[in-house]
Chains A and B, each alone.
Chain A
Amino acid sequence: MLNTRAAAPSRARPVAPRRTRPAAATATTRPFIVLALMLACAAGLAARLVFWQVLQHPHLSALAAAQHADLTVQAPMRGQIFDAQGNLLATDVTEYLVYAAPWQVKDAYRTASLMAPVLHEDQRQVYQLLTQNDSITLLAPPLNAQSGQQVRNLALPGIILEPVIRRDYPEGSTAAQLLGYADIHLHGQYGLEASYDRLLSGTAGLRSVLKDTAGNTIHVGSLGDTPAQNGADLHLTLDGTVQGLVEDELHKAVLQHHADGGTIIVMDPRTGSVLGMASEPAFNPNRYWKYPYGNLVNPATQWIYEPGSTMKVLTMAAGLDSHVITPQSALDDTGAFRIADVTIRNWCLCAFGMETMTQVLQHSANVGASWVAQRLGVQRFYHYMRLFHVGQPTGIDLPNESPGLLPLPGDKSWSIVNLYTNSFGQGVAITPMRLITSIGAIANHGVMMKPQIVHQIVYGGRIITRRPVIAGRVVSAATAHTLTNMLVHSAVDGEAQMALVPGYNIAAKTGTSNVPDGHGGYLKNVTIGSTVAYAPAFHPRFIALVIINHPRDTIWGSMSAAPVIHNLFQELFMYYHIAPNPSALHP
């Protein structure tokens, strides 16, 4: 080993040339090694390219799209609501909120002097807002489109204009409970705005704007936009003129009788179309937030009451249709009708003696109605109540309709007394809409129509027209005719005479409802006066229900509600050009 080591240096030199390859070989081999290295690199890079551009393509392109596509929601215009004449009841207006970013404002004095006239604000106040130490500040209440454009044209640095869409109700409180309102987020609340919210809202469009990573819009072609689909326009059956009359008459009556409020519904009994619908107290949907909850709901469909004597129309229809009575059937009204331990008395606590069925209606006799109920019996009475859909919702296109309350045989709260109290409208609670719809069946020759408020829906250029919907045949046409005749006759010189208009046959029935005290009895001196009527009686064009809630000067519906029918019908005859009938019972 030692020897070998010592010898190594001397052996190294002769060995060296052998290790050195010929120069020519090096000159060709080594470039090939370098070239091979380059090609190997290229192969590796090709693999990397395939990896990123083919294998990772779906993932990376999705990431890139997510990075750049900034979806801006294109707000759709909320559908407009029109009455039958095409008057605008609800629409959208674009308003502008004007903000200032004081740190961006260049010349606060100049900015204030230019902005103040447009904003209708004091120049000094604007100046103060512009110079205060705030990141952003609202300068003024929302501006209309014209003022907004003026601000835009000024193009002042630090002034920011933000468009906002607000729901506007040009007619103010007209048909407020019927329409409801759309809140600041344009979500429909109450009324048609709620029940047709999805249709009215439309579909928000998506506009994908390309943004760079700093959030600036990239000005190249945009990617797959879906335009906003504006909401559907609603064309109502509601007649603006009728609605105006209804509201005026209701307002006058509520004032006159110092009532808590009231409801009037006018319908076309032939189609179920609601022509007018108003309730007091109302609200202005443009400023809905200022009103208590109670004003926002629609009493016509959401409030239930014991209908009282107006219910006798249904009792009589059941009696006539099942042939247990005729208009000439007579009873001896002693003023008291005893069942079990309960005695039913007339409203006047008086006895009417011998009276026909027509006279029962004329007197609005509770004893007479109970007598009919007795003749009908439980089975038949409730069979007809079910046919009239009492205790069921009408299915009108308004939200949260109350079905009402009708305890039926078999229910815990039902006893045989209910049969008799129900016959004159007690122990049963229904909505005004239910009552007018059910009685409308008598006006419409025995066929009950489903009430409708929306006549046409216009959506994306398509027009959907609602056809009248039959809710069912309730009584025969003969029964309906007979009962109408009875109602016309009984109104003359009867309780409903104040509802009549000379020269016209009007079928009318008054009602005076007691208000339950919540302890099984009724409040004293608190009543709901109501009258339901349709005219011309045998070829009805309209049916109306007037309800005056807690009139202070009279407890009777014949005094509070019937005169409203009179005023209303007088104007409706003129409006619908209905000529007086020379052979009318009431000259």
Chain B
Amino acid sequence: MRRNIRSIKLRGIDPWIALAFIALLCIGVVMVYSASAVYGYDYYGNPYYIAQREIIWAGLAAVALAVVIQIDYHRLQRLALPFFLIAMAMLAIVLVPHLGHASHGARRWFSLGAGITIEPSEVVKLAAIIYLAAWLAGKGERVRDFQAGFVPFSLIVGMIAVLIVKQPDLGTTIVVTATLFSMFFMAGANGRHLAALLFGSSVVGWTLAHSSSYRFNRLTAFMNPWKDPTGVGYHTVQALLALGSGGLMGVGLGNSIEKHVLPAPYTDSILAVIGEEWGLMGTAVILLLFMVIAYRGMRVAVTAPDMFGRLLAAGVTSWITFQAVLNFAVITSSVPFTGVPLPFISYGGSSLVITVVALGVLLNISRQTNGEGFARRSTHNGRGDGRSRLSRALDHALPSLHAERPAIRVARAGRERTR
């Protein structure tokens, strides 16, 4: 990696994903500043305190992205297992008192000093996706097999879920589990196995919800947050007040009042602040940007050159989308309250960097896709498979994409030969 920045090759990356990401990151930096100015002023005497760190993290993330885009994703296939094992070890160690850094009643972080913390569960998300993609790709058709597919998959997912739930971090558990399930599904898992898994995890989830008063209170708070607006329903109510205060066009950048009282205004609840300052216009644009990533990401997944690439792209896309969807659902009080950051937008140091790295992997895969296969096949299948008219319109609007692809294919062919 001794190339200078000028030689970074961006050719062939999916421009829609890249643009959506840049838009989200920019919105994130601005909104983190807007949402954290009060906190920064109150606690550090500097309204820019959090925003300055956010800019450093965003810069780091951009550098990481630039690097990751250059790394052929196939290299990850060999690193998958060691990376996964290291991440799992971190996840286990973080639960050990004195080693893990506890905050807000949860033990999720490693403190690296100087206020920098690393959240292993974020690392595990990426590591698990890479590992599972590699593992599932290696299984091929045997994914459908009970003993070769279902049992090990259940064990892997169960192990990850238990470690994250222990922290406790239900939101991340849900995102990771849903992402791995969707990868398993897309890898061609047996429908009955999946149904059993979904049923099993629902039972586990229900039991977990009732096992801790902290979770159960949040569950009941979601049903009727106004019953106890100053207690368990506080966070939900304040988020809804922020959203509702925004209306259609919002109260304007920096004018949020709820950010003064909303818990975690620049991390997990930043969407509420956006909703207040930019109104439905702002939240809808962000939702749309995530759906652009979802659609283009899945498009990358379908057109990826090999099974590992497909599953990796699908996994990264699912992760980002599910996490965004869960965050939206929580803020709109559509599901019980659980804290997950809004990808690319929430302040969150290591979390941002890891998510951006994952996006870099996705973009790298997009450079190596065979776009035509996806488009053609979809066209033949008509709309019955969920393809929207918009996607076709995009295909026509971006002829340059198709023009560039043959070159990539050649490059990929070269790589495949060397492997």
Q: For the complex, is A39 an interface residue (Cβ under 8 Å from B)?
A: yes
Q: Please give the distance in Å from A68's CB to the nearest CB on chain B.
A: 5
- CB-CB contacts below 8 Å: A33-76 with B: 33-36, 38-39, 41-42, 44-46, 48-54, 56-57, 59-61, 63-65, 67-68
With contacts A53-B246, A61-B247, A212-B260 taken as known, whether A28 is within 8 angstroms of B275 at the C-beta atoms is no
With contacts A49-B275, A64-B241, A220-B257 taken as known, whether A32 is within 8 angstroms of B298 at the C-beta atoms is yes
B294 with A61: CB separation less than 8 A = no
Q: Please give the distance in Å from B309's CB to the nearest CB on chain A.
A: 11
Q: For the complex, is B283 an interface residue (Cβ under 8 Å from A)?
A: yes
B294 with A31: CB separation less than 8 A = no
- CB-CB contacts below 8 Å: A62-92 with B: 63-65, 67-68
With contacts A32-B386, A53-B244 taken as known, whether A45 is within 8 angstroms of B298 at the C-beta atoms is no
B291 with A57: CB separation less than 8 A = no
Binary interface encoding of chain A residues 189-213 relative to chain B, with 1 for a CB under 8 A from any of its CBs, else 0: 0000000000000000000001011
Q: For the complex, is A1 an interface residue (Cβ under 8 Å from B)?
A: no
Q: For the complex, is B328 an interface residue (Cβ under 8 Å from A)?
A: yes
A31 with B186: CB separation less than 8 A = yes
Central interface residue in B283, B290, B374, by most chain A CB within 10 Å:
B283
Across-interface contacts of A20 in B (CB, < 8 A): 141, 144
Q: For the complex, is A30 an interface residue (Cβ under 8 Å from B)?
A: yes
Q: For the complex, is B385 an interface residue (Cβ under 8 Å from A)?
A: yes
Q: Chain A: how many interface residues by the 8 Å CB criterion? A: 42
Q: Is the interface of B mostly helix, strand, loop or mixed?
A: helix
Q: For the complex, is A6 an interface residue (Cβ under 8 Å from B)?
A: no
- CB-CB contacts below 8 Å: B289-340 with A: 290-291, 294-295, 298, 301-302, 307, 310, 314, 318, 321-322, 325, 328-329, 332-334
A44 with B298: CB separation less than 8 A = no
- CB-CB contacts below 8 Å: B365-419 with A: 374, 377-378, 381, 385-388
Across-interface contacts of B38 in A (CB, < 8 A): 218
A35 with B294: CB separation less than 8 A = yes
Interface residue range, chain B: 35 or more
Taking CB as reference atom, which chain A residue is nearest B191?
A: A19
User: How far is A46 from B334 in the complex, measured between Cα atoms in Å?
Assistant: 11
With contacts A31-B314, A48-B334 taken as known, whether A54 is within 8 angstroms of B386 at the C-beta atoms is no
B287 with A49: CB separation less than 8 A = yes
Q: Is the interface of A mostly helix, strand, loop or mixed?
A: helix
A42 with B302: CB separation less than 8 A = no
Q: For the complex, is B240 an interface residue (Cβ under 8 Å from A)?
A: yes
Q: For the complex, is B149 an interface residue (Cβ under 8 Å from A)?
A: no
Taking CB as reference atom, which chain B residue is nearest A37?
A: B182
Q: For the complex, is A128 an interface residue (Cβ under 8 Å from B)?
A: no
Q: For the complex, is B242 an interface residue (Cβ under 8 Å from A)?
A: yes
A64 with B242: CB separation less than 8 A = yes
Across-interface contacts of A213 in B (CB, < 8 A): 230, 234, 261
Pick from B188, B244, B334: contact of A45, CB below 8 A.
B334
User: How far is A36 from B257 in the complex, measured between Cα atoms in Å?
Assistant: 36
Across-interface contacts of B279 in A (CB, < 8 A): 53
Q: For the complex, is B85 an interface residue (Cβ under 8 Å from A)?
A: no
Binary interface encoding of chain A residues 146-159 relative to chain B, with 1 for a CB under 8 A from any of its CBs, else 0: 00000000000000
Q: For the complex, is B79 an interface residue (Cβ under 8 Å from A)?
A: no
Pick from A26, A49, A68: contact of B284, CB below 8 A.
A49
Q: For the complex, is B16 an interface residue (Cβ under 8 Å from A)?
A: no
16 A-B contacts (beta carbon < 8 Å): A20-B144, A26-B186, A33-B386, A39-B294, A42-B291, A44-B334, A48-B328, A52-B243, A53-B247, A53-B275, A57-B244, A57-B246, A57-B248, A67-B261, A68-B260, A213-B261
